[in-house]
Structure 1
């Protein structure tokens, strides 16, 4: 029965996330907000909504390992699983400026999160606020730098949403909110039950099954784009998702409910895996073929991710 709750929760999270993105973008366009700003703020925050709801629900219910494991596992899955599979299907060209801003921010937040968690074994409200503030500063700098780019270069904005009626926006928003709420409830409940029935810890289920579940939208979009030979879903989108997961998902969750570290493996293993997957991107950017993630590199990432899952269940 735990699998049923988990499956239903995942479906509702995917549906809810899609409706929330569409309603948020349509509302922003209605208020004549720049497409560039929408792409970097509204869309990014909306696509992090499933992770946020799952982590918040888990933290409020006292399942801190699920709250942390969800984000840590999602960040690992975004690089190892999603980027790995995408590169295997179709090699990705890398923007030369990517590692100067986006990668550096992801790496910085990953390391800062480790030290926040290590100092006291809890992510408290002040630390959550610091993470959120860093995201706001990062977005302001990023938007200012990106204003030189043409609006035509902005990706993932559906222009047909500009003529969406106010009634339809409200309906989409309600469907998204309700789906996300019940999806997160059922997913957390299913994860808890699955951990019990399989005799493994909540942490193991959260960094693997739950994390992959909340990364399903990124995985589906990336695979479809790769099959179509389109590169609208770039490495930048995945790194941006990881930045939002740490800074906004954990940041806001900790501001509402401090997140305790209950499992020692989170600090001794999972965090190092997350930092390692982030760090390995730099040599992959530069060696042997510069600024391209090809099929061989994709197989390396996917293999490393499968090894991570194997070792996680073995512990």
Structure 2
């Protein structure tokens, strides 16, 4: 039954997330927000909602290891799985914004998360507020830089023009469907993860950083692989980095404000977070050595093999 709960939970999260993104974009057009602002902020917030609901549900139920494992595992999967597999299909080009802005912010938040957890073994409400303030500053600078430079085509393509004419009734229906699907999806996923961990004799943390993290990364993986196969557009490395920033700042920030996240498994500090820092840090040498501004098939294969090692070692240990 645990696998059925997990599968049903993931399906509902994918469906709920899709409806919520559509509703959020449609509502943003009604509020006369620019397409650039919608792409850089509203879409990013909406696509992080499945992770947010899972983390909040787990924290409220007392399973804080799932809250932390979900975010840390998703950040590892975004690089090791999504970026790696996409690079194997088609080489990824790197723009200057990646190493001048997005990557430093991601590393700052990743290292900051380590020190927050190691100093008090929890993410308090005040620290959650601090994470959201950092996110606000990041978004302000992101929009400012986007106006100064040209907004990437990837960001604008995510905002479908037909949603600008959708009716208020349809937006309301999408919000209701998305909200219900996300609520029950997160509930089923947490129940299934706890049951599976108990059945397999592994910690909830292991299930969270592997199965749940991969599951919540499936939409990004599917979209990236389809785009790469069709050669419609190059995957923006900045989009994946932005997703990691949102996971730490918004998902953990909002969750901690609602319910402080207590660190229960020390392996999160001694193992998982170091893998996250390692996958994040290695992007810089991969970006410049040996061929500059490109992550090709060989580099992609190395990243995927490293991710498989992470998943394997999580269960073995």
User: What TM-score comes out, normalization by structure 1 length?
Assistant: 0.98
Q: Distance in 2 between matches of 1:152 and 1:46?
A: 19
Q: CA deviation at 1:60?
A: 0.4
Could you say which residue in structure 1 is the equivalent of 2:310? 308
Q: Which runs of 5+ in 2 are unaligned?
A: none
Could you say which residue in structure 1 is the equivalent of 2:73? 73
Q: CA deviation at 1:216?
A: 1.2
Q: Bigger shift: 6-15 or 154-163?
A: 154-163
Could you say which residue in structure 1 is the equivalent of 2:97? 97
Q: Distance in 2 between matches of 1:272 and 1:164?
A: 45
How does 1:121-140 map onto structure 2 within 5 Å? 121-140=121-140
Q: Distance in 2 between matches of 1:241 and 1:300?
A: 22
Q: Distance in 2 between matches of 1:40 and 1:147?
A: 11
Deviations 1:188-244 (A, max 9, x none): 000000001111100000000001111111111111111111335311111000000
> Structure 1 residue 280 and structure 2 residue 298: aligned?
no
Tell me if structure 2 keeps the 8 A contact 1:123–1:258. yes
Tell me if structure 2 keeps the 8 A contact 1:92–1:231. no
User: What TM-score comes out, normalization by structure 2 length?
Assistant: 0.98
How does 1:117-266 map onto structure 2 within 5 Å? 117-150=117-150, 153=153, 154-231=156-233, 233-266=235-268
Q: Distance in 2 between matches of 1:104 and 1:114?
A: 15
Q: Distance in 1 between matches of 2:161 and 2:133?
A: 31
RMSD of equivalent CA atoms: 1.0
Q: How many residue pairs were aligned?
A: 315
Deviations 1:153-180 (A, max 9, x none): 4331101111101100100111100000
Q: Distance in 1 between matches of 2:205 and 2:44?
A: 26
Deviations 1:97-126 (A, max 9, x none): 211110110000000000000011111111
Q: Distance in 2 between matches of 1:110 and 1:272?
A: 10
Structure 1 runs (4+) deviating above 6 angstroms are none
